[in-house]
Amino acid sequence: EVQLQQSGAELVKPGASVKLSCKTSGYTFSNYYMSWLKQMPGQNIEWIGNIYGGNGGTGYNQKFKGKATLTVDKSSSTAYMDLSSLTSEDSAVYFCARLSILPKSPFDYWGQGVMVTVSS
Amino acid sequence: DIVMTQGALPNPVPSGESVSITCRSSKSLLYSDGKTYLNWYLQRPGQSPQLLIYWMSTRASGVSDRFSGSGSGTDFTLKISGVEAEDVGVYYCQQGLEFPLTFGSGTKLEIK
């Protein structure tokens, strides 16, 4: 069974950074892309970027360049996202989601999401 | 960026009624391989989104056949035949044609 298990909720101060994790199981991590997405309360879903589990190659939404950095640890089948210089606009739920193996693929499995709250 | 625009539903919808959720893209999602790269997701309250339909009309594994997708290159419809209590939530369309991947703003379904 494919599973994406995200780390717990974070309360961080403005200007700080936070590292979120997405530990996977049930499939070959290095064969798939992982995406990260942002959902502010009651709002739309935004795609932040992709990372390939095989070689760590990344692609970012221009809007999030400089804000988010995606990495992977193949040995533990875990994807990470660093968010830097946090402001109130970064308070949101963040999801990791696997891109299926299909071409121009949909997000076929999602993590449970993690709430990040930026507050002093 | 491709803009995705979704319509609203006349909530609440009586249980058992059929509904259609609309989505429009600012650019044709029909690719040269003949596939249309439009996906549908349902986000139930307090949960993460789940894939319902991909390539405009292909149901994801385990999805009820009450859900069906159709459309053209820019105009799409998700039909739910006979809504049930478990269908409550927000439905999102998403284009998979090009980066950045983008979503519609969501269509909320409430059931009477």
Tens of pLDDT along A52-67? 999 999 999 999 999 9
SS3 category, A2: coil
CA distances from A3 to A6, A18, A23, A93, B32 (A): 10, 23, 8, 18, 33
Chain B neighbors of A98, CB-CB under 8 A: none
The candidate with the shortest Cα–Cα distance to A118, out of A93, A88, A95, is A88
Residue of A nearest to B30 (CA): A104
* Angular region, A95: left φ>0, alpha ψ -120 to 50, beta rest: beta
Tens of pLDDT along A22-52? 999 999 999 999 999 999 988 899 999 999 9
Residue A42, pLDDT score: 80
Tens of pLDDT along A4-14? 999 999 999 99
B60/A105 Cβ within 8 A = no
Chain B neighbors of A103, CB-CB under 8 A: 33, 35
Shortest distance between the Cα of A22 and any Cα of chain B, in A, equals 14
Tens of pLDDT along B37-86? 999 999 999 999 999 999 999 999 999 999 999 999 999 999 999 999 99
Of A35, A102, A112, the CB nearest to B48: A112
CA atoms of A79 and A56, how far apart (whole Å): 9
Residue of B39, B101, B102 to mutate, testing the A interface (most A Cβ within 10 Å of its Cβ): B101
B49/A44 Cβ within 8 A = no
CA atoms of A46 and A62, how far apart (whole Å): 12
* Torsion A53-A57-A60-A65 (CA) sign: positive
Q: Are B20 and B109 in contact (CB under 8 A)?
A: no
Mean pLDDT across chain A: 96
For residue B35, name the pLDDT band (cuts at 50, 70, 90): very high
CA atoms of A79 and A107, how far apart (whole Å): 15
Chain A neighbors of B51, CB-CB under 8 A: 106-108
Beta bridge partners of A49: A36, A60
Residue B75, pLDDT score: 98
CA atoms within 13 A on the CB side of B70: 5
For residue A108, pLDDT over 80 is answered with yes
Residue A104, pLDDT score: 86
CA atoms of B76 and B25, how far apart (whole Å): 8
Of B37, B51, B102, the CB nearest to A108: B51
* Element containing residue A48 per DSSP (H, E): strand A45-52
Shortest distance between the Cα of A90 and any Cα of chain B, in A, equals 18
